[in-house]
Chains A and B, each alone.
Chain A
Amino acid sequence: MRVNPVLALAPRLQRAGGRDSRTTTVLAVTAFAVSTALTLSVVAALLGFVDRAAHPVTDLEREAGGFYVTLAVTATILLVVPLLTLGGAAARLGVARRDARLAALRLLGATPREVVGLTLVETALQGLAGAVAGTALYGVLLAVWTQIPFQGRPFTVGELWVGVPVVLLTWLAVPLLAAVSGAVSLRRVVVSPLGVAQRVTRPGLKAVRVVVAVVAFGAFMVVSVAGQALAAAFVGIMLAGLAVAFLTMNAVGPWALGVLGRVRLRLARTPEQLLAARRLLDDPRAVWRVVGGLGLASFVAGCLAVVPLLAGGPGGTREDAIVSADLLTGSLLTLAITFLLAAVSAGIAQAAAVLDRRRELSLARLAGVPTDLFDRVRRREVLVPVLVVSVGSALAALVMFFPLFGLAAVTAPQGLLLLVGSLTVGVGLVVAATEATRPLLHRVLADTVVRAD
Chain B
Amino acid sequence: MNNRSVPVRPPLPTASSGPTPSSGPTASSGGAPRLAARGLVHRFGATTALAGVDVDLAEGESLAVMGPSGSGKSTLLHVLAGILVPTSGVVALRGQEVQGLGEKERSLLRRSRYGFVFQLGQLLSELSARENVALPAMLTGTSRAAAEGAADRWLAALGLTGAEGRRPGELSGGQAQRVAVARALVTRPEVVFADEPTGSLDQSTGHDVMKLLVDSTRAVGASLVVVTHDADVAAWCDRRIDMRDGLVVAPGSTTGTGAGPRPGERAAAASVGQDLGHGLGDLPVSGGDR
A residues apposed to B, CB below 8 Å: 198-201, 268-271, 274-275, 278-279, 281-282, 357, 359-360, 363-371, 373, 448, 450-453
CA distance A271 to B111 in the complex (A): 13
Residue B167 lies at the interface, judged by CB distance under 8 Å to chain A: yes
CB-CB under 8 A for A199 and B125, given A274-B144, A370-B289, A453-B69: yes
Taking the complex as formed, is B206 at the interface, i.e. its CB lies under 8 A from any CB of chain A?
A: no
Query: With A and B bound together, what is the CA distance between A316 and B111 in angstroms?
Result: 71
B252 at the interface (CB under 8 A from A): no
B24-57: CB near A (< 8 Å → 1, else 0) gives 0000000000000000000010010100000000
Q: How far is the CB of B4 from chain A (nearest CB, A)?
A: 16
- Chain B residues within 8 Å of A281, by CB: 126
Query: Number of A-B pairs whose CB atoms are under 8 Å?
Result: 109
Q: How far is the CA of A200 from the CA of B116 in the complex (A)?
A: 24
Residues of B within 8 A of A200 (CB): 167, 169-170
Do residues A453 and B49 form an inter-chain contact, with CB atoms below 8 A? yes
Cβ–Cβ < 8 Å partners of A373 in chain B:
139
The proximity string for B residues 178-218 relative to A, scoring 1 for CB distances below 8 Å and 0 otherwise, is 00000010000000000000000000000000000000000
Decide yes or no whether B131 CB sits under 8 A from chain A.
yes
User: Is the CB–CB distance between A448 and B83 below 8 Å?
Assistant: yes
B110 pairs with A368, CB closer than 8 A: yes
Known contacts A200-B170, A278-B127, A278-B131; decide if A452 and B144 are in contact (CB<8 Å). Answer: no
Contact A278 B126 (CB under 8 A): yes
**Lowest 3 CB-CB distances: which A-B pairs, in order?**
A368-B111, A368-B110, A199-B169
Q: Which residues of A contact B159 (CB under 8 A)?
A: none
Whether B144 contacts A451 by the Cβ 8 Å rule is no
A277's nearest neighbour on chain B, judged by CB, is B126
Residues of B within 8 A of A271 (CB): 135, 138-139
B167–A201 CB distance below 8 A = yes
Q: Is the CB of A360 within 8 A of B83?
A: no
**Smallest CB–CB gap between B130 and chain A, Å?**
11
- B109 at interface (Cβ–Cβ under 8 A)? yes
Give the CA-CA distance A365 to B126 in the complex, in Å.
16
Cα A3 to Cα B163 in complex, Å, equals 48
- Chain A residues in 8 Å Cβ range of B255: none
The CA of A360 and the CA of B112, in the complex, are separated in Å by 19
Q: Mark B residues whose CB is within 8 Å of A.
A: 44, 47, 49, 69-75, 78, 81, 83-84, 104, 107-112, 114-116, 118, 121-127, 131, 135-136, 138-139, 143-144, 167-170, 184, 289
B202 vs chain A, min Cβ distance (A):
16
| CA of A370 to CA of B125, assembled, Å | 18
Q: Is the CB–CB distance between B47 and A452 below 8 Å?
A: yes
**Does B84 contact A448, Cβ atoms closer than 8 Å?**
yes
CB-defined contacts of B135 to chain A, threshold 8 Å: 271, 274-275, 369
Sampled A-B contacts (22; CB under 8 Å): A199-B169, A268-B144, A278-B126, A279-B126, A357-B125, A360-B123, A360-B124, A360-B125, A367-B110, A367-B111, A367-B122, A367-B136, A367-B184, A368-B107, A368-B114, A368-B136, A368-B139, A369-B136, A450-B78, A452-B72, A453-B49, A453-B74
* Residue from A275, A359, A368, A452 in contact with B70 in the complex, judged by beta carbons closer than 8 Å: A452
Closest to A278 in B: B126
Name the contact of B108 in the complex, choosing from A270, A365, A368 (C-beta under 8 A).
Answer: A368
**Which residue of B has the minimal Cβ distance to A281?**
B126
Q: Which residues of chain A have C-beta atoms less than 8 A from B71's C-beta?
A: 453
Report Cα–Cα, A453/B47, bound state, in Å.
10
Q: Are B75 and A366 in contact (CB under 8 A)?
A: no
- In the assembly, what is the distance between CA of A450 and CA of B195, in Å? 11
Contact B143 A201 (CB under 8 A): no
* Residue from B49, B73, B83, B108 whose CB has the most chain A CB atoms within 10 Å: B83
Q: How far is the CA of A308 from the CA of B127 in the complex (A)?
A: 48
Closest chain-B Cβ to A348's Cβ sits at a distance in Å of 20
Tell me the bound Cα distance from A268 to B144 in angstroms.
8
Interchain CA distance A198-B118 in the complex, whole Å: 17
Of all chain B residues, the one with the shortest Cβ separation from A367 is B116
- Bound-state CA distance A282–B125 (Å) is 9
Minimum C-beta distance from A440 to chain B (A): 18
Q: How far is the CA of A366 from the CA of B169 in the complex (A)?
A: 21
Once the chains bind, are A450 and B122 in contact (CB under 8 Å)? Answer: no
When chains A and B are docked, how far (Å) is the Cα of A278 from the Cα of B72?
37
